[in-house]
Amino acid sequence: MSVRYSRIKNVLSKEFTPLNLVIRDDSALHANHGNVKKGDTETHFYIKIISPVFNNKTKIAMHKMVYKILDKEFSKGLHSLELDLRGTK
């Protein structure tokens, strides 16, 4: 398990106590993008979370919650997230 992956998994698990959490490192699919420096790793992730914390929240509100929690990762080289977020209701 990679370092950024572990940090993301830990913080999302703590903050959202998800019923389902899927994290996939898709960095290799984006290796030749202009914004990604050669040699950078762990830059693009797919994240699926099903959590009661998201109940009665809009899609925009759920995304803002995740981005706020992972803000520090963006300053450390995280470039992009693909999010699939749902409540339990």
Q: Read off the CATH number of the domain in which 45 is found.
A: 3.30.300.90
Q: What is the pLDDT of residue 32?
A: 59
Q: Is the pLDDT higher at 59 or at 79? A: 59
With tokens 């797919």, the residue in question is 46
Quickly state the pLDDT bin for 63 (edges 50, 70, 90).
Answer: very high
Per-residue tokens: 53: 């914390």
- Checking if the pLDDT of 85 tops 70, the result is yes
Q: What is the pLDDT of residue 78?
A: 86
CA distance 21 to 63: 15
* Residue 81, beta-bridge partner list: 45
CA distance 72 to 26: 19
Domain count, the chain: 1
pLDDT in tens, 18-54: 999 999 988 866 555 556 555 566 788 999 999 999 9
Range of the domain at 11: 3-86
